[in-house]
Amino acid sequence: MSPCVTSTNIPSEPPRLEISDPKKSTQYQECVNSLKLSKETMLKIGKIFHEEMELGLSLNPPKKSSLQMCNTYITQLPDGTEEGEFLALDLGGTNFRVLLLELSKGQLVREEVKHYHVPEALRLGHGITLFDYLAKCIYEFLKEHDLEKRRLPLGFTFSFPMDQRGLDSGVLVTWTKTFNCEGVVGEDAVKMLNDAIHRRGDLNVDVIAVLNDTTGTLIQGAYLDPACGIGLILGTGSNACYIEKAEKVLRWDGGKINGTEEVIVDIESGAFGDTGVLDFIRTDFDRELDRHSLLPESFTFEKYISGRYLGELARLIMVKLVNQRSLFAGVGSEKLLTPGGFTTRFISMIEADTINHSTDNVRIVLDELEVNFDADDINIVKDICYLVTDRSAKLVAITLATILERMNKPNSVTIAVDGSLFKLHPRLSTLIDKYIQEFAPGRKFSLLLAEDGSGKGAGLTAALALKMKNKL
């Protein structure tokens, strides 16, 4: 089992804020006060999140939920009896991977991985051409490992919004990122990949499961720890999934099929608040960030918490303070005034300074931004980085605490987490752990770093799909 990623040695307290100029101090506090969320506000958010979950699971809800609550059709987790060789295809960006996992009595005894590039012409061309290319790469991978004659099941991580209609059926809702292939939106991505594989005539591969990286993280977490019941991605973007009682998934009659008791539900939590239910915590900084984002008025929750946005949020706060002449003597640099000029990596660096009672990293960052600064400026920037980190941690924690309360498990539940923000931020996990305890008192849990759910998780899901298929 991988160790819990939180550490009691990492402090959760904010940096000591000392501003010599009383006027500057007052202006600063007025500027950032809206970012501070009280416990009462957090509990209100948790109540709304639970209501949105209920709406998303309902057959005929009275109003639309901002949470899709997608049924993954995965009704069991790894139990140590998985045997055989399984392929995984992980597609979610300009590069993708093909993997081979060999399991013996549930243990991974062999792993082969190869990365492939998807040229722009394929990402923007016709979908059939794209899927033919994926099939070609699968063949080359198998030939390289002398496996082209073997009949192998494949788990397909397809990290785009999809309407999942079965364990082996995922209809593309819309392309995102750098993909915009013709003829795929509204089509079943699994069928298109299987058709491409069968068109070749030289592959004995069947795509038997489709999933996203969040579901894969839960599966990978369950492989590492049988107590795992929640999966979380917290990186450039964010999403969560969890194990739900099948009888509560009213849009699906899975509870009536083969005695199914539980199923993994993909929450699509990055969209929490898209219907306006979280507008009461939106600050002017959030509104400005959203207006200039690639997809305004969508992925609302993700914009509060994830790595793509935290650095920009901090930059917008600093720009306002510069305009008020309460930071950097009222003079901003071109880098600071340019969107994207302050990254989430800078926040991690500066937060490390706060932990270590240092100013080394913040001085490096401010020099890189080409601004003139004094001791007050250093303290203000450190506090800004803490505030956006702390708000992110609180919001992540209240959703996880709500899920834990909903699951109502008597024993400890492990939360499997993957994503660059979670892995690289020096104390985000500590803060999340602290706030889950505060918002779900009495619930036992642990945070577990479960890397490569999109790869290993897909192979493990193929193994589970085969077991479920054999039971029918």
By annotation, the residues acting in catalysis are: 97, 159, 213
Which amino acid is it at 384?
I
Grouping H, G, I as helix, E, B as strand and the rest as coil, residue 402 is helix
Q: Are 140 and 125 in contact, with CB atoms under 8 Å apart?
A: no
Task: Kindly provide the b/e burial profile for residues 276-309, where b requires at least 16 CB atoms within 10 angstroms of the residue's own CB.
Answer: ebbeebbbebbebbbeebeeeeebbbbbbbbbbb
As beta bridge partners, residue 88 has 99, 155
Q: What is the 3-state secondary structure (H, E, C) of 311-333?
A: HHHHHHHHHHHHHCCCCHHHCCC
First to last CA, the chain: 32
Q: Left, alpha or beta for 327 (phi > 0: left; psi -120 to 50: alpha)?
A: beta
Kindly list the strands in the beta sheet with 152-158, ordered across the sheet, starting from the edge strand earlier in the chain. 107-117, 95-104, 84-91, 152-158, 205-211
**Using CA atoms, how far apart are residues 277 and 293, in angstroms rounded to an integer?**
20
Q: Are 309 and 303 in contact, with CB atoms under 8 Å apart?
A: yes
**Using CA atoms, how far apart are residues 197 and 355, in angstroms rounded to an integer?**
52
Q: Are 148 and 202 in contact, with CB atoms under 8 Å apart?
A: yes
Residue 34, φ and ψ in degrees, nearest 5: -70, -15
Q: Are 449 and 417 in contact, with CB atoms under 8 Å apart?
A: yes
**Using CA atoms, how far apart are residues 432 and 201, in angstroms rounded to an integer?**
50
Angle between helices 310-323 and 375-407 (to 10 degrees): 140
Nearest to 386 by CA among 424, 418, 426: 426
